[in-house]
Amino acid sequence: MSMPVAEVGSYKRLTATGAVCAGACQLLGFYVSSTNAGTVVLTDGSTAMSGTITPAIGFHPFRATVGTSLTATIAGTALDVTFFYASGN
C-alpha cells in the first residue's frame, strides 16, 4: 500500500548549512528567494539524496520520503532557501 503524499506542511528557512527536519519527514520542495551561485546538497542522515544543485530563484518541487533526518549543505557565495516538508512518514 502506498503512502499518502502530503500537500501541505511546515517550513524551514536556511542561509547556511543546517537541519531542515530532525526526524522522518516528506520533503515537498524548496523556494529560493535569492542566490549568487549558491549550491545545496540534500542528505537523509548520512546518505546523499541529491548531487550538487545550483538552483535558480523560484519554487522547485522535490518530493521525497526522508527516513532519518533532512539536512541541507549550503555552499557558494549566497543562497537563501525555504524548505517545505511534512513531518512523519
Q: Give the confidence band of 5 by pLDDT, cuts at 50, 70, 90.
A: low
Maximum CA extent, the chain: 44
> Which residue(s) pair with 14 in the sheet?
81
pLDDT in tens, 27-63: 999 999 999 999 999 999 999 999 999 999 999 999 9
**pLDDT at 87 (0 to 100):** 87
Topology annotation, domain 11-87: Jelly Rolls (2.60.120)
Q: What single DSSP character describes residue 67?
A: S
pTM: 0.89
* pLDDT at 8 > cutoff 90: no
Identify whether the C-beta of residue 31 lies closer than 8 Å to the C-beta of residue 45: no
pLDDT at site 88: 72
